[in-house]
Amino acid sequence: MSSGQFRAATIGAWTRAQAQAALEALVFAPTNHQVIPGATVTTVFTIQLDDGGNLASNANTSVIATAINNPPTILDAPEKMAWDAVGLPDPETPVGARGIGEPPVAAGCCSVLNAISAAVGDDVFVRAPVLLDHILTAMETKKPGQRPLTANV
């Protein structure tokens, strides 16, 4: 049902029991992460029967789906994604770069940097990445083992 329609050209040759079984076998799979957890989405279905001469229609069938708190996975990503550069430099970064993939990665990096800082001191490094050489040099010389990041604009 990817197109949103179920059509059976040979339904006229079906018995009533076969048609009923086909309808009961339909599965509704709501879109993942369409709304926040706890919110609901109502999907209304229209069921039509056209036997070639008479058309019967019913638009009163609906399914209410309540979102649950499942974390998104890579399987939830669409097959085709669009992206575009905003063309506006970020004044908070040294070279004006912007990005959207960094926040989840930065949390882990910050946790590791905080742990290193707690273990060896706050003034041992002034930027990431922190290499073992940087830490050892800073501990031997009592100065940061690297220069601060500067903008070359």
The predicted model scores a pTM of 0.35
Q: Is the pLDDT of residue 8 over 60?
A: no
Q: What is the pLDDT of residues 68-84, one digit of tens each?
A: 877 767 777 778 877 77
Q: What is the pLDDT of residues 85-97, one digit of tens each?
A: 777 888 887 787 7
DSSP label at residue 93: S
Answer yes or no: do 78 and 18 share one domain: yes
Radius of gyration of the chain (CA): 29
Residue 130 belongs to domain spanning:
86-153
Answer yes or no: do 116 and 135 share one domain: yes
Single-letter residue type at 98: R
Answer yes or no: do 73 and 49 share one domain: yes
Answer yes or no: do 4 and 76 share one domain: yes
Answer yes or no: do 62 and 119 share one domain: no
Answer yes or no: do 3 and 77 share one domain: yes
* Residue 136: its H or E element: helix 132-141
Answer yes or no: do 68 and 107 share one domain: no
Return the closest-CA partner of residue 121 out of 133, 138, 108: 138
Q: Is the pLDDT of residue 2 over 50?
A: no
